[in-house]
């Protein structure tokens, strides 16, 4: 979606999209769900958001390329775009942490119980 923007501007747009409690909760829900995604109605129910509010937040995430949208019958199904997420994490690791080699090992995979760091990288949650 933001292919024409420089990487820094795309990163700012993606991080900006996540910088809201409802959008962050929505994104976490979709990441946990995996590539199958969820219907908009199910998302609204689980997050307790009004449909119009949910639509606003979904479109914001969709415009930045962090989530995908597909139609199945009459339902819109939203899912996290794991390639975009991993690209964002890699960009941050490469440009903010100075770890070019580690960026290729740090990835979240659909269906995994949690994102994991490479074996030679300390887990910041327990450090």
Quote the pLDDT of residue 96.
74
* Chain segment 29-84, per-residue pLDDT in tens: 999 999 999 999 999 999 999 999 999 999 999 999 999 999 999 999 999 999 99
Q: Are 17 and 101 in contact (CB under 8 A)?
A: no
- SS3 per residue for 45-64: HHHCCCHHHHHHHHHHHHHC
Please give the domain boundaries of the chain with CATH numbers for all domains: 1-127 (1.10.10.10)
Q: Cα torsion at 47, 52, 53, 57 (round to 10°)?
A: 90
Whether this prediction's pTM lies above 0.85 is answered by no
Q: HSE (CB half, 13 Å, CA atoms) of 4?
A: 1
């Amino acid at each position: 979606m933001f292919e024409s923007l420089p990487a820094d501007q795309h990163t700012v747009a993606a991080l900006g999209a996540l910088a809201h409690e409802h959008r962050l909760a929505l994104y976490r829900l979709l990441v946990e769900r995996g590539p199958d995604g969820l219907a908009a109605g199910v998302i609204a129910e689980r997050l307790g958001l009004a449909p119009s509010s949910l639509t606003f937040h979904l479109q914001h995430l969709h415009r930045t390329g962090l989530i995908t949208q597909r139609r199945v019958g009459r339902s819109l199904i939203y899912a996290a775009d794991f390639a975009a997420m991993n690209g964002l994490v890699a960009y941050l690791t490469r440009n903010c942490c100075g770890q070019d080699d580690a960026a290729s090992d740090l990835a979240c995979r659909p269906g995994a119980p949690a994102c994991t760091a490479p074996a030679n990288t300390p887990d910041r949650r327990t450090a």
